[in-house]
Structure 1
C-alpha cells in the first residue's frame, strides 16, 4: 500500500517537473587521462521524476566518430568504471530510465580529454593453419602484447566478438570451401592495432563410406618419430605396427612411435559400421652412420627433382610460413649477420632443442644451395653456424642431429650419402 502511494506521488511530482532535462549529477573521477587509463563515472537523479524505478544508460562518442556507442546500459547503481583508448576528446552522455515503462530522458553530458600513451601499440599474433580442408578442425590461438581489449572476426563479413587480450579456440573449422580472413583488432594504452590472417579452405569432395585422408610421419630423431592421420566418415580406427594393434582416434596429431634401425611399417585401419579402409605407411630409419662435425661436413648426393605442387604441399608451405614469421621476428638480426635469411621462400627449418638446455636450436635447409646449417643457441642467441652439410636437397636425408658431451654436432645420415672429406 505504501509502495503504491509513493509511486503515485512520484508520478504527481513528475508532472510538475517535465521541464527538467538534466541529471542532478553526472561527473568523472578525472577529466584528463592517458590512453589506457580508467575513470569512474558517477550519476544520480534524486529529484521528483516520472523515471522510477531508475536505471541509467551511459554512452560515449569517441574521437573521430560522429555517432555514440553504448558503454553500459540498464545500470541500477550510481557508478561505473571504464577504460579509455585513443587520444582526443571523449564525449560521454548519461540518461535515466523508468525500468517499468522503458521511458528515458533527463540527459547530461561531460567531456574527458585523453592524451597519447608512451607504450607501443598492441602486437598481435594469430596462430592457425593457412590452408585446411573443409570441416577439418584445428586450434586457433591469438596472443598479444600491450593489448587490453580485443575483438575477432572469423570471416570478413563476420561480427566482431570480444575476448580480452588472449584467445584459444579448440576444434575451429570452416564448413565451406573458399578464402576466409580472420581479423583481430586490439586496443591498448599505446593505441589500436589490427592483424589479418588468411585461411584457404579446400573442398574435400568426400566419397561415401570410410576414408583415410592422410597418413604421415614426422622426422625420425634418435629412433623416435610421430604419426599424423585424418579420416572422414569413420567412427573408430586402429593402428598396427606389425606386432601389436592399438585402438586410436579417427584423427591423430603427434602420435609417438619408436622406429628401429631398418624402419617400420604401420597399418592404419578405419571403420564405419562393418565397412573399413586401410592404409600402410613405411617410416624409414637406415642403419646408423655417425659423422662428428667440428664446423663443416660435405655431403654429396644426387639431387632429385621437386615433387609436383599439390593442395597438401600448399598447406605445408603455409604452415612453414607461419613458423618462419614468428622466428624471423625474434632472431632476424642475429641470423642475418650470419648470412641466413629465414624469410627467403626456398628456406625451411626445424627448431628442436638439440642439447637439452631449454633453448630452441635451429636446423636450416636451403634448397637452392643444397645445404643444411646447424646452429646451437647460446642462452637463446644464435651467434655462429656450428655445422654445415653440403649437397643436402631433402631434409629427410638427415635422420637425426644431436650434440655430444663435448659440444660437437653429431649427424645421423642416410647410408646412400657419400661423405667427401
Structure 2
C-alpha cells in the first residue's frame, strides 16, 4: 500500500519535538547567511544570487536527465534580473527560457498565491512544444486517464528503478484542489517544514505527465523564499538534492511505502537543506574572489573579447587557456587572440605557464599576484 492509499491521506503528521533541534539549526544558518549577504555591496549580492539561481536551474533539470548549458542559463537569468555581466549572450533555447521562467516566478514572486492556473503556466513553460522529447503530452493540464498508470522511476533507460506508483488520474482534480488550498493556508506550520511536506505531497500526486520533479522543487523553493522573506536566493536546494540523488530517492521511496508520519522524510530534508546552506558559503567565497578579480581587471581598458574570456575562466572553465581556445571562444583569429593574451599578461591578469612551444598555456593570476602587480605599478 502506497502512502496516497492510506486512510487519512493527505493529512500527514510528524514529530515536531524530534525535528525541533534540526529546524532551529537550519533557521539559524539561514539567518547567518542572509546577514552575511546583507553586509555586502549590492553588486556582490546580485552576483551571488545569479550564481545560485544558475546552479538551481541547471541542477533541477539535470536531475531529470536534461542537460542545459550553464552559460545560456546564466545569461537568461541575468537578462531577466537586469544584471549586466560580461559574456552575456542572447538565449534562444526554449528549454532554458521555460525553466528559468518557472524558477524566477516561484522565487521572485513568492508572495503571490500558488494556484492551479499558475501551476498550469509553469508546466506549459517547461514544454513549449507540447512534447516531452519526441512524445506528445498534455500541456498545461493535469495528466489525463489516457496517459495510463504512472510510476516514478530513476536511472538510465533500460535500467530504471521503480520507486512508487502515483494516484490514478481520476483523483487529480480533488487532490490538487486540496493541495493548493493547504499550501496557501495561514496555519502555524513553519515554512521550512511546509517546503519539505509540499515537495513530498506534490511528487506523490504527480499531477502532470512530465516535469513533476522540477515543479515540486520550484514549489519547495517558493516556500523557502517565504521562510527567508526575500527574493534573493543564496543557497540551492536543487543542487544539494542532485549531489545526494541516491539518498533523495531512497528516502522518497521509503516514505511512499510507510504511513502518514513523515518525520523520517523531513529529518532528511532538513539535513539536506542544512548542507545546502553550508555549501552556499563555499559558493560565496568564490563570488568574493571573482568580485576582487574584476575589481583589478576593471582598472584596465579591456575589450569585449577579453572580458568574455576572463568571465568564462572565472566560472567553470576547465584546464588552461591556449591561443586556439581563446580564438574559438572569442570568435577571432589566432593572431588577434595572441595579441589579446599578451595584453592581459602585461596587465598582470593572465600568467603564462612554464611549458612553452606547442604546449604554451595561460592561467588567471591569483589575487596575491594581482596585489603584487598593483603594488609594483604604484611605485
State if a TM-score over 0.5 links the two structures.
Answer: no
User: Which has the larger share of strand?
Assistant: 1
Output the TM-score relative to the length of structure 1: 0.18
Relative contact order, higher structure (CA 8 A, sep 6+):
2
Which structure has the larger Rg over C-alpha atoms? 1
User: Which has the larger share of helix?
Assistant: 2
Output the TM-score relative to the length of structure 2: 0.19
